[in-house]
Amino acid sequence: MAKAGSGISADADPITAARAAAEVALASTAVDRADAALLFMNADHGSSATEVVDVATQVLGVAPVGATAAGVLVAGQALESGPGVAILALAGIESETFLLDRVAGNESGAGELLRHAIDAPLRAEDLVVLLPDPYAIAAQPFLEAIQTELGGACLVGAGAVEGAATPPVQWADSEIATGAVAGVVLRGARPRVGVTQACQPVTEPMQVTRTEGHWILEIEGRPALDVFRETAREPLASDLRRAAAFVLVALPEPGDPQASLCAGDYRVRNVAGFSENALAVPEPVTTGERIAFVLREPHGARDDLKRMLAGFSGQPADFAVFLDCCARGAALFDVPGLEAAYLEDALGATPLVGMMGAYEFGPVRGRTELLTYTGVLAAAGAAPDATDGSAGS
């Protein structure tokens, strides 16, 4: 059984914060040296990443894996603005850490890079955490290439976040980089994973009847923009730019003949643009696909968070990782620390660390997908039979 501890600090000096968080995390494990660690730091301190990682390594006895974030959290406490360092220290678990620094422009070769970065093939009981640079690396082709190497292992992740004066920063094996992917394999973690959505369906799945690349021209034989305006309703319908911040597109699981919109079973994408009668999304949509419109709002998001956490409540776990969208947190719920409080209620004393990222990786019907506006919770050792990485929701 793994031993774990977490620590967080809002000290204005990021090096002091790293030392404090590391000392609390390590003390909670009741060992002298950690075997693995995750460290997340608010992005505005990205220029201090080298010093932060160095001091954390000195305290923990192992180099942490991590990335800059829009916010960091542990169970019961979140730091979404200003300084913040959060650390999860792990002992008694086999781990492999790596920094993939040749992925940008070579996303299709990411699977091979991962294979060479680890000592043994991945297994269903393993947990993989990946933290890419979202600006340098095309997430969808990267993810598709990585899938070939998973071997049934559970993959979760989040895009690193840029600071006011620094690009997204990633670290692993005492190396600091930008434009890279930091990662760790936690062997035998036996994770259970849940996904919570910030956007809830406000239409049934509808058939796309005419497209052109990323542009949806017709839905159910009608101009796509007309359908969007009807969904948004006034006053949003008269202000498309504002409407696009709240009304988004849900893409159900590919190959689902019923285009299910069950909890967690869809991907959300922004409306990327409008034309006279059409709307665009960030990825190509083909004629015959089904889509739905979803609404980003706090009440439905809170209910969905409770639903997801109900699948974990009362089940023992060794440790947990929560990867949250930077558009959630106080910006969505208008309550600072709400998610951290809910996580503490559900997981109790389970050591947890989390970050708010640019996007998330998480499961949709057993397949890892690129997600947005979601929270992805991975609890390790949550149940003896949880060896398939399936969602706990």
pLDDT for the residue numbered 264: 64
- When pLDDT is cut at 50, 70 and 90, the band that residue 386 belongs to is very low
Q: Is the pLDDT at 248 greater than 90, yes or no?
A: yes
pLDDT top residue among 57 and 260:
57
Least confident of 106-110, 280-284, 380-384: 380-384
Query: Across the chain, what does the average pLDDT equal?
Result: 92
Q: Is the pLDDT at 387 greater than 50, yes or no?
A: no
CB 95, CB 124: distance < 8 Å: no
The whole-number average pLDDT for the span 273-289 is 92
For helices 139-147 and 110-117, angle between their N-to-C axes, nearest 10 degrees? 50
Which single residue is written with the structure tokens 């774990």? 4
Q: Is the pLDDT at 377 greater than 70, yes or no?
A: yes
pLDDT for the residue numbered 165: 85
Backbone angles phi, psi at 103, to 5 degrees: -90, -40
The whole-number average pLDDT for the span 285-306 is 93
Residue closest to 323 by CA, chosen among 254, 280, 285, 370: 370
Least confident of 57-61, 213-217, 264-268, 308-312: 264-268
The whole-number average pLDDT for the span 214-224 is 95
pLDDT for the residue numbered 263: 66
- When pLDDT is cut at 50, 70 and 90, the band that residue 166 belongs to is very high
The whole-number average pLDDT for the span 245-258 is 76
- Measure the CA–CA gap between 323 and 67, rounded to whole angstroms: 12
The whole-number average pLDDT for the span 360-365 is 90
Q: Is the pLDDT at 391 greater than 60, yes or no?
A: no
Which single residue is written with the structure tokens 């793994």? 2
Q: Is the pLDDT at 393 greater than 70, yes or no?
A: no
Structure tokens at 156: 């979760």
pTM: 0.93
Domain ranges of the chain: 3-189+318-358, 200-296
Element (H, E) at 170: strand 170-172
